[in-house]
Structure 1
Amino acid sequence: MLTTNDIIKEGHPTLRRVADDVVLPPTLEDIATLDMMLEYLQNSQNPEISMQHDLRPGIGLAAPQINISKKMIAIHARDESGNLHSYKLLNPRIVSHSVERSYLTTGEGCLSVDREVPGLVPRYARVTVKAVNTEGEEVKLRLKGLIAIVFQHEIDHLNGVMFYDHIDQNNPFQPIEGAIPIER
């Protein structure tokens, strides 16, 4: 079982590397890693388990965050309508996106960042993601709102990008023109 201690923190070089593609079909080890990543997210959202194991709550996790430099992400989050989106994906990539932007009104956080980073993070309002699931099948997802933001955040990790790299350093709360505010 993954714990908060297994998650590397900002400043660790793996977080700034571009992760390697996962060789397909995925190995049993890759599938087991994704299973552990999703299990962490599920456990971290369960108040009893989270407290018992001192887990920091999360809705997305990328393999580089557990010091595995491979393109793998797990997401376990509810959208604005309360629908659960739970994924274990290999080699995810954004193949198209809207011109329109969105942002979380509360800003973003990250399991690899143990501090508050104030500021608005501009994201695309809608993205289309292609990836491979653990059965080796290609999947295509059209995403919007919070789930689109979570995917962009995790895919950034695969490219060595941290969420705060997107914040305007001179004016962190500069309104993002025409962007859709998303409450969380």
Structure 2
Amino acid sequence: MILMKDIIREGHETLREVAKEVPLPPSQADIDTLNKMEEFLINSQDDEIGEKYGLRPGVGLAAPQINVSKRMFAVRVEDDNGKEYYYALINPKIVSHSVEKSYLTSGEGCLSVDRDIPGYVMRYSRVTLKGFDKNGTEVKLRLRGLPAIVFQHELDHLNGVMFYDHINKQDPFHIPENAIPIER
């Protein structure tokens, strides 16, 4: 079981590396890692289990965050309509995206960052993502709103990018024209 002590924090070199592609079909070790990452998200979203083990609630976890520099992540999030986006993806990549941007009005947080960082993180409003599931089967997702933001946040981890790298340094709360606010 992954605990908070297993999640590396900002400043750790693995968080700034570009993670390596995962050979397909995935090895049992890679599948086991993804299963543990999914289990962490389920546990972290369960108030009782989260409190018992001191877990911060998370909607996504990338392999580099547990010091495994491989292109995989798990996401467990729902959109405004209650549609579930529960995925464990290998070698995900954005194949198309909107010009339009969106951002979380509450700002973004990260299990690897133990401090509040004020500012808006601009993301693509809509993305089409391709990757592979634990069976090595291709998955194609069209995402918008909160799920699009979460998937982009996790994908950044695979490229050594932290969410605060996207915050405007001169004006952290700058909102570009036509950017869509997402309430969370």
TM-score by length of 2: 0.99
- Please tell me the residue identity of whatever aligns with 2:181: P
Cα distance in 2, alignment partners of residues 138 and 5 from structure 1: 33
- Please tell me the residue identity of whatever aligns with 1:25: P
Q: Number of aligned residue pairs: give it.
A: 184
The answer to whether structure 1 residue 79 and structure 2 residue 79 are counterparts is: yes
User: Partner of 2:143: helix, strand, or coil?
Assistant: strand
Gaps of 5+ in 1: none
Cα distance in 2, alignment partners of residues 73 and 176 from structure 1: 29
Cα distance in 2, alignment partners of residues 150 and 174 from structure 1: 20
Structure 1 stretches of 4+ with a deviation exceeding 3 A read: none
The equivalent residue for 1:96 is 96
User: Partner of 2:51: helix, strand, or coil?
Assistant: helix
Cα distance in 2, alignment partners of residues 101 and 107 from structure 1: 14
The equivalent residue for 1:126 is 126
Distance apart, 1:55 and its partner CA: 0.4
The equivalent residue for 2:2 is 2
Cα distance in 2, alignment partners of residues 69 and 36 from structure 1: 15
Percentage identity across paired residues of the two chains: 63
Gaps of 5+ in 2: none
TM-score by length of 1: 0.99
Deviation string for 1:65-94 (max 9, x for gaps)?
A: 000000000000111112211001100000
- Aligned ranges 1:5-154 → 2 under 5 Å: 5-154=5-154
The answer to whether structure 1 residue 178 and structure 2 residue 178 are counterparts is: yes
- Aligned ranges 1:158-173 → 2 under 5 Å: 158-173=158-173
Distance apart, 1:35 and its partner CA: 0.4
Cα distance in 2, alignment partners of residues 145 and 96 from structure 1: 15
Distance apart, 1:176 and its partner CA: 2.3
